[in-house]
Structure 1
Amino acid sequence: MTRRSAAAVDATPTPPVCVQDLRRSAAARLAPAVWDFIAGGSGAETTLDANRAALDRVSLVPRVLAGVEKADTAARLVGTSAALPLAVAPMAYQRLLHPDGDLATAEGALAAGVPFVVSTISSHTLEEIAKVGAALWFQLYWLRDRGRVTELVRRAEEAGCQALVVTVDVPIMARRLRDLRNGFALPSWIRSANLEPDGPTAAHSRRPGESAVAVHTKTAFDATFGWPDLEWLRGQTRLPLVIKGVLDPRDAEQAVRLGADAVVVSNHGGRQLDGALPSITALPQVVEAVGGRCQVLMDSGVRSGTDVLRALALGADGLLVGRPVLWGLSTAGAAGVAQVLSLLRTELEEALLLAGCADLAAARTLRSFVSGMPG
């Protein structure tokens, strides 16, 4: 029998064992400008970096002798049953990452048993994505044309979406320096399928030193969006209403007063106000402010099952996961998305067992310390 050489052994592909492995794969596959578009943050990327650092400062105190052999990760998020306390965050223009774009992401979410939040500026229509069969929520940006807002809400209802997620932290798109340096614009074959299905828009016009996507956003989005508009929206639909982009507990309280079913503690993954508070740091005060009157979700910086457990221990009901899903999508389409979510499930199950928790309710009773202070 011929022995395999060391070189042959080294050439054998190693399957990813954590989502960071897929990050490296995605970075190697994607064009530099596309990688910068999904990986970058705003300004000096202070908040982008702070999200990760803040999560790493959360230490958990595991329980022992709990007699737990298997951990239950099932959750109910805003009325939707989920195999994990996770939903796939809304992310724009996913065909930049893979030809199947949002359809592949929906397929991966379906395989993992978690909701997929469809972006207003998805690169497939809401109706096309709904045919995949995943549990869908629809993310709404506030447009200058209120008639278009109403139309999108009705389409979400008719497509069977189970919640409406309103992003409230993008009155304008922040300056994302990587995109400005790259003069980033969408290729001609990428569309905002729900808004501009028939031809090129400002988002396709490349100019040095300018982000065409930011120009398009400024044209389409209404910077005057305010609480009265949200109150009006609450009266337009019976869908559960999720308010995404909350960091101040006072805003969380106001959202509850206006009928929100959930808030998402989020700084938009470090892509809006640079210097904004990390989401995990803001989370406990928001949880305290709403006092159980609505669910509290979180996003920004989540990279592992341990991160999920950290957020649960600090009071979150669930989390939205963003960039890691895109890493999986760009690497292997629907299978890559499913792989990311499977890795997070494996890590969360292990973290729960090691912390002595049989389920998510037990996770919320764990003690935590943040930078040495009791949490």
Structure 2
Amino acid sequence: MSEKNVAGPGRRRQNDIYRAGVLGRRPAVPTDFPELERRARKASTATGWAYVAGGAGQGRTMRNNRAAFDRWAIVPRMLRGHATRNLSRNLLGTELTAPILLAPVGAGQLIAPDADLHTARAAAATGVPYVFTNQGGTPMEEAAAAMGDTPRWVQLYWSTDEGLVDSLIQRAEAIGAGALVITLDTTLLGWRPQDLNLGSLPFARGLGIAQYTSDPRFRQLVAERIRRAASARPEVTLGAIKSLLSITRNHPGSFLDNLRSPEPRASVETFLDIYSNPRLSWDHIATLRDRTRLPVVLKGIVHPDDAKQAFALGVEGIVVSNHGGRQIDSSIAALDALVRVREAVGPDATVLMDSGIRSGADVFTALALGADAVLLGRPYMYGLAIAGQRGVEEVIANVIAELELTMALTGVQNLAEITRDLVVRNP
């Protein structure tokens, strides 16, 4: 059998890098996470880095997420005789070429002006599904057009306006979303010192609200707000003027027309009023079966009882996640929660995981401990910061390459063979 026939994505990726190295070329992004993070920080603004890389409180949950991976070790098996590997999986009707989806990351405009489009195009180029963020800078219709036939899911933050919830769901259906991902753990923003110390909330400057300003129900709410507006003028400071210019620049339409219109500022104020529903409950989730034909995935589950309740209500899947450590300081690590959740719901329930995934070896460990697939977040955003769309593509390629090589060196031929006996507690 020729090398071409036995070379999987890992070996191909290595060969591409080494052959380019002969010509004096290096990868656009580093292949190890610490250097990837270091260079992304250097390439980012202070506000962009605080928002994307920062965590809640003292950052203990972020550290917990990584420490949880360090507590597990992979146990390779030898002489299995497998020359090729199959990384594919069907997830709720979505065909995956690898068990990875790109996580929804809000306010990506802080990292790159067209972050959502760069990510959508990178997802299409690599064949990896992308979960569109509800807090994007590009309407979901434009991001979907950039992806072609590549699968996409859509995240939903549950607004206090039920009409807006229905409108966003209908738009997700119209763009061919494979699933609706309801984020549960952000009914309020966590205590995020990196953002607070800078006084930086991107949404207040018109960033990350394009799903709203492109929505007919939201625009109706904005029009009603303008009609009710009092004559009181906002406080005028240099910072307020800069924020107004940012709001105006990021609002759909002509900058000059927006500057003369009350709509941009009213849109931001309306968003801040209705963005997320702190009263969100299981009763809201129970209404979804009558509101959408899409598979429903609940994101933010870390307790086994919540996982069982979700499946009892008929949702199709869950994402075990602590929001990358951005919501609660000193929360349980997502990987530790995954072990408990999988034991509670049994082998057949669809369970994804995010928070703390940094490498292909991490993906392998998460799969061995019960995840059907993982969502990749910060690493691809760091690639975006360094090299735009190409950076995202290279991060995806690196993670998949390391996963496939880990499978090869562990004697695993397909995802079903990545089982619990291939990892042990690290003493």
Distance of aligned partners of 1:82 and 1:353 in 2 relative to their CA distance in 1, 3 Å threshold: same
For 2:7, the equivalent position in structure 1 comes to: none
- Write out per-residue CA displacement over residues 295-341 of structure 1, whole angstroms, 9 at most, x where no aligned residue: 11000010000000001111110000000110111122211111110
Please report how far the alpha carbon of residue 238 of structure 1 lies from its aligned counterpart in structure 2 after TM superposition.
Answer: 1.3
Q: Which amino acid aligns with 1:267?
A: N
CA distance in 2, matches of 1:109, 1:76: 17
Q: Which amino acid aligns with 1:280?
A: L
From 257, 262, 275, give the equivalent of 2:317.
Answer: 262
Distance of aligned partners of 1:55 and 1:191 in 2 relative to their CA distance in 1, 3 Å threshold: closer
Q: Which has the higher helix share?
A: 2
Please report how far the alpha carbon of residue 122 of structure 1 lies from its aligned counterpart in structure 2 after TM superposition.
Answer: 0.8
Structure 2 counterparts to residues 63-74 of structure 1, below 5 A: 63-74=77-88
Measured on the aligned residues, the alpha-carbon RMSD in Å equals 2.5
From 321, 324, 332, give the equivalent of 2:376.
Answer: 321
CA distance in 2, matches of 1:243, 1:303: 22
Q: Which amino acid aligns with 1:143?
A: S
CA distance in 2, matches of 1:152, 1:308: 31
Pairing 1:92–2:147 present: no
Distance of aligned partners of 1:62 and 1:173 in 2 relative to their CA distance in 1, 3 Å threshold: same
Give 5+ residue unaligned stretches, structure 1: 1-8
Give the SS at the match of 1:222: coil
CA contact (8 A) 1:264 1:297 kept: yes
From 50, 53, 64, give the equivalent of 1:50.
Answer: 64
Pairing 1:37–2:92 present: no
Give the SS at the match of 2:210: coil
Q: Which amino acid aligns with 2:323?
A: H
For 2:230, the equivalent position in structure 1 comes to: none
Q: When the two structures are superposed, what TM-score results if normalisation uses the length of structure 2?
A: 0.78
CA contact (8 A) 1:162 1:240 kept: yes
CA contact (8 A) 1:173 1:218 kept: no
Distance of aligned partners of 1:191 and 1:92 in 2 relative to their CA distance in 1, 3 Å threshold: closer
Structure 2 counterparts to residues 88-237 of structure 1, below 5 A: 88-132=102-146, 133=148, 134-186=150-202, 188=205, 190-197=207-214, 219-237=274-292
CA distance in 2, matches of 1:218, 1:269: 25
Q: Which amino acid aligns with 1:367?
A: L
Structure 2 counterparts to residues 275-294 of structure 1, below 5 A: 275-294=330-349
Q: When the two structures are superposed, what TM-score results if normalisation uses the length of structure 1?
A: 0.89
CA distance in 1, matches of 2:273, 2:363: 34
Distance of aligned partners of 1:149 and 1:219 in 2 relative to their CA distance in 1, 3 Å threshold: closer
From 279, 302, 307, give the equivalent of 2:362.
Answer: 307
Q: Write out the 4+ residue segments of structure 1 that deviate beyond 4 Å after TM superposition.
A: 215-219
CA contact (8 A) 1:234 1:258 kept: no
For 1:359, the equivalent position in structure 2 comes to: 414
CA distance in 2, matches of 1:79, 1:25: 37
- Larger Rg belongs to: 2
Identity %, equivalent residues: 39
CA distance in 1, matches of 2:307, 2:118: 33
For 1:4, the equivalent position in structure 2 comes to: none
